[in-house]
Amino acid sequence: MFLDRNNFWIGILVGLVVPFVGYAIWLSLFDQFTEMGWMSTDGFSLNWRRRTTGLLAICMNLIPFHIYNRRRYTTTMRGIILPTVAYSAAWFIYYGYYLVS
């Protein structure tokens, strides 16, 4: 299993896959909350849902990062950080104009 190895490439793989899965989970949760009436899109900016979903998906990398931290797998943790920083930079480049202006 992936949790039992201290390898840089496994960290990169986990860091790349977890945000995609997290994005799908958060997107389906937001859709279900909207259908149930718990959440409304009124009063938010046009891209609020995509922006927030992307940020939450990037933050999902904290879960495997914490698991590997408890096991002291520092090499795998370094692998997770690389795609996380790349995703964060891409998110800021794409949505930074909306946040700053």
pLDDT digits (tens, 9 = 90+) for 8-61: 999 999 999 999 999 999 889 888 888 887 776 665 666 777 888 999 999 999
Q: What is the structure's pLDDT at 46? A: 64
Q: What is the structure's pLDDT at 52? A: 87
Nearest-angstrom CA–CA distance, 60 and 82 = 14
CA distances from 55 to 5, 18, 39, 72, 95 (A): 28, 13, 18, 26, 10
Q: What is the structure's pLDDT at 78? A: 95
pTM: 0.83
Nearest-angstrom CA–CA distance, 64 and 52 = 20
Q: What is the structure's pLDDT at 33? A: 82
Which tops the pLDDT comparison, 90 or 33?
90
